[in-house]
């Protein structure tokens, strides 16, 4: 099972299917494991879209968000990515990182909680999952997604699936496949 999601290629076909299913049902019962817990956003630069998307995703799961920017971890003054990961692991449920590839790898190595590479999620996974979700549930109505809410549902599904350790990884074949 995947603990961290650092690249879109980490996901297998079953994972993608599972995430679309989860995103389509994210407002239904049984998605409260993160209620009252913290989703930690680690930002090395201002990323308003990321903050909006993941704050809304956490709210759908009744979780709270704490944002750690350069001011909070004193970038350049002794705090390293592993320091941030160890600290976030003390109080967070999932760590979403918007940092360089090297820092994300260091965060994942030092963290005891799941780490999600934010740019991978926001730029690649959420749009892909949102398109699959829109194709599956066209039009407004209960259980259906509009273009505005699909990326948030998909971000929430990523957070929840990582926290639950439900992603098998790319080495797993699709159902009925290979």
- Domain range summary for the chain, segments of one domain joined by +: 8-164
| CA–CA dist 36, 85 (Å, integer) | 20
pLDDT band at 81 (very low <50, low <70, confident <90, very high): confident
What is the SS3 assignment for 95? strand
pTM reported for the whole predicted model: 0.86
Q: Which CATH class is domain 8-164?
A: alpha beta
> Which structure tokens are listed for 39?
């989703």
Give the model's confidence band at 102: pLDDT under 50 very low, under 70 low, under 90 confident, else very high: confident
How far is the C-alpha of 58 from the C-alpha of 174, rounded, in Å? 29
Higher pLDDT, 7 or 134: 7
Max Cα–Cα distance, the chain, nearest Å: 53
- Alpha-carbon distance of 115 to 8, in angstroms, equals 13
Rounded Cα–Cα distance for residues 141 and 162 (Å): 28
| pLDDT band of 176, cuts 50, 70, 90 | very low
Calpha distance 143→56 (Å, rounded):
17
Q: What confidence score (pLDDT) does residue 150 get?
A: 87
Identify the pLDDT of residue 98: 93
What pLDDT sits at residue 59? Answer: 92
* Whole-Å CA distances, 26 to 22, 33, 104, 145, 159: 6, 12, 27, 11, 11
């Amino acid at each position: 099972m995947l603990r961290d999601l650092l690249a879109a290629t980490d996901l297998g076909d079953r994972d993608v299917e599972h995430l679309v299913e989860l995103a389509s049902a994210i407002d239904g019962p049984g998605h409260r494991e993160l209620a009252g817990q913290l989703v930690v956003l680690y930002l090395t630069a201002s990323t308003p879209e990321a903050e909006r998307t993941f704050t809304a995703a956490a709210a759908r799961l009744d979780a709270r968000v704490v944002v750690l920017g350069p001011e909070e971890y004193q970038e350049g003054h002794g705090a390293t990515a592993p320091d941030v990961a160890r600290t976030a692991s003390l109080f967070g449920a999932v760590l979403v990182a918007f940092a360089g590839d090297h820092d994300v790898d260091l965060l994942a190595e030092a963290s005891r909680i799941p780490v999600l590479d934010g740019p991978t999620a926001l730029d690649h996974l959420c749009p892909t999952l949102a398109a699959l979700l829109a194709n599956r549930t066209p039009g407004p109505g209960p259980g259906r997604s509009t273009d505005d809410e699909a990326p948030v549902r998909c971000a929430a599904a990523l957070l929840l699936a990582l926290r639950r350790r439900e992603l098998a990884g790319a080495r797993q074949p699709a159902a009925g496949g290979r």
